[in-house]
């Protein structure tokens, strides 16, 4: 099994020395660099480049600059997706956003994690778990979503939250760690 196959299955893999994964990350990072240096007013050029980076898009979306990702092809965004400045998606596994998702500035979605065991961690091994965000979700500024998390539909995640566990539909959740504080 290749390192990429292990990565996409959520198993431990080595991203540091696998030539194919390094090449794919460099392609995505070069495209992100190019995207981040397009004049903000050139919306169509920005859109077309984003479509070449991301794995799946709908017709109506906008990601403000700067934007960074690891691979790009594992990112799926729904219709009417908007992200403000400084979105970081570490997409070693699938990161899927539903329709009508709004993301405030300085947010991160991290599929990658490392073993607690320092010996395996020191070997450069990591794992990647999928992240899924439902429809009609608003994510406040400076929110971090960790590997393996699913956020349901019709959810508001409060600013500064660290989402380390699944969040059900129809709630407001905040904090570090992020917890449901009320139903909507």
Instruction: Sheet with 13-14: list strands edge to edge.
Output: 13-14, 125-128, 112-113
In sequence order, what are the beta bridge partners of 156? 138, 172
Q: How far is CA 60 from CA 31, 92, 105, in A?
A: 20, 25, 19
Specify whether 114 is catalytic. Answer: yes
Q: Which of 114, 129, 132, 179 is catalytic?
A: 114
Q: How far is CA 155 from CA 34, 133, 148, 152, in A?
A: 33, 9, 17, 6
Catalytic residue IDs: 114
């Amino acid at each position: 099994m290749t390192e990429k196959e292990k990565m996409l299955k959520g198993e431990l893999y080595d991203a540091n020395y696998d030539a194919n994964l390094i090449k794919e990350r460099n392609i995505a990072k070069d495209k992100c660099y190019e995207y981040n240096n397009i004049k903000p007013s050139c919306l169509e050029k920005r859109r077309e480049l984003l479509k070449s980076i991301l794995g799946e898009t709908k017709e109506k979306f906008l990601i403000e600059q700067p934007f960074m990702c690891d691979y790009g092809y594992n990112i799926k965004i729904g219709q009417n997706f908007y992200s403000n400045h400084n979105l970081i998606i570490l997409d070693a596994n699938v990161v899927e956003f539903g329709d009508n998702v709004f993301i405030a500035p300085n947010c991160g979605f991290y599929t990658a994690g490392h073993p607690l065991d320092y010996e395996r961690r020191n070997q450069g091994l990591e794992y990647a778990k999928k992240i899924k965000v439902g429809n009609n979700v608003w994510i406040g500024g400076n929110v971090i979503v960790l590997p393996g998390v699913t956020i349901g539909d019709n959810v508001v995640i409060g600013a500064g939250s660290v989402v380390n566990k699944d969040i059900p539909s129809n709630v407001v959740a905040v904090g570090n760690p992020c917890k449901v504080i009320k139903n909507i």
